Structure 1
Amino acid sequence: MLPAPGKGPAPDRPRYGSTGTPPHTPLRPMWACRACGQPWPCGTARLMLRVEYDRNHQGLSIYLAGLMYEAMRDLYRLNPDSGPGPEELFIRFVAWGPLRRSPS
């Protein structure tokens, strides 16, 4: 009789959806968090992104800049007159990231 197979390798980082709760991913085109309803990226999404891109700071910055562009396009299509401005979107998507500079 053969031995029963084990569970196999386990991820070294938490995965979205592993707890049965909705993931903290953007609900587009509003760019609100699917789990908590806060503007995305919410605090939990930021923590998860930092863990996911742990040693790839440049990759995270490029990813966030691309998402900022997509959010800008989506949000301006929804509400071109009173949507968030470029500075607000930069602060929301990019300024919290790993390659920010301290004010001089």
Structure 2
Amino acid sequence: MAPPRSGPAANLPKSHAERTPHTPMRPMWFCRADGQHWPCGEARLRLKAEFEDNTAGLTIYLAGLYYEAAKDLYHLNPHDGPNPTDLFARFVGWGPHRRPAIEAPKAAGGS
């Protein structure tokens, strides 16, 4: 006797694992899931959660992505590439913030 054939696929919403991930579509550096500039808000949240206990690692990872994105984006448009300051803010500037190595002096006469 032959085994039964599988029936029709369930009509259920996609699980979290089946959704398009918020990863960069290179070399344009747009999010695969929502089409925003990558890293989009969701990608930033996920990266912060993934590197929760490793802020130095997140900073190094973001700096590497900044380098790769600059290389890709300038290669695509060498005459009118992205502004380096804006690109830095997009890739690195939102990441973990550190306090200054030296505390700012207190204002004289202030209470």
TM class by smaller structure:
0.7 to 0.9
1:55 to 53, 56, 60: 53
Q: Give the C-alpha shift of residue 101 in structure 1.
A: 5.8
- Unaligned 5+ residue runs, structure 1? 1-16
The aligned counterpart of 2:76 is 78
How far apart in 1 are the matches of 2:91 and 2:19?
24
How far apart in 2 are the matches of 1:63 and 1:87?
18
| TM alignment of 1:17-36, pairs within 5 A | 18-36=16-34
Bigger RCO (CA 8 Å, 6+ sep): 1
How far apart in 1 are the matches of 2:99 and 2:81?
27
Preserved CA contact (<8 Å) 1:29 1:74 = yes
Percent identity between matched residues is 61
Radius of gyration: which is bigger? 2
Q: How many residues align?
A: 87
1:9-43 deviations in Å (ceiling 9; x for gaps): xxxxxxxx843110000000000000000000000
Amino acid at match of 1:95: G
Flag as ranges the 4+ runs of structure 1 deviating above 6 A: none
TM-score scaled by structure 2?
Answer: 0.73
CA root-mean-square deviation: 1.9
Change (3 A) 1:36 1:100: farther
